[in-house]
Amino acid sequence: MAPGTKRYLIIRCEKCGRLTLARSGSASRTCPSCGHRQRISTNPPIASSESPEEIRKILGALKSRGIGSGPSRHKDLRRGTQ
Ligand SMILES: [Zn+2]
């Protein structure tokens, strides 16, 4: 791999469990959900890809399995009107 090749990473917030996208080369990422700042070196990505399309697909697949939807899934269930 050429140096400088950017990879897209999926980081799982160690505090709230939300999934968030990051770029390789960043040292840390702030969770958009809870604001927790985590170091990528101590919280390794659960997935990575060179393709932004692929990383979004992986993210969608993980979310559809209920991974990374955060600790408050019951809130989403309550919000759904069925
Ligand atoms: Zn968080």
**Position 64 in a domain:** yes
Domain span holding position 28: 8-68
The rounded Å distance from CA 69 to ligand 1 centre is 10
Task: Provide the 3-class DSSP secondary structure of residue 19.
Answer: strand
Task: Assign 49 a pLDDT band (cuts: 50, 70, 90).
Answer: very high
The rounded Å distance from CA 13 to ligand 1 centre is 5
* Contact status, residue 70 vs residue 47, Cβ threshold 8 Å: no
The rounded Å distance from CA 22 to ligand 1 centre is 13
**Position 17 in a domain:** yes
| Rg, the chain, Cα only | 14
The rounded Å distance from CA 19 to ligand 1 centre is 8
**Position 1 in a domain:** no
Distance CA 47, CA 68 (A): 12
Q: For ligand 1, a single-atom ion, which residues have Cβ within 5 Å?
A: 13, 15-16, 18, 31, 33-34, 36
Q: Provide the pLDDT for residue 28.
A: 92
**Position 62 in a domain:** yes
**Position 3 in a domain:** no
pLDDT in tens, 28-48: 999 999 999 999 889 889 999
Task: Assign 2 a pLDDT band (cuts: 50, 70, 90).
Answer: low
Question: What Cα–Cα distance (Å) separates residue 74 from each residue in 35, 41, 66, 77, 82?
Answer: 21, 31, 11, 5, 14
pLDDT in tens, 59-75: 999 999 988 876 655 55
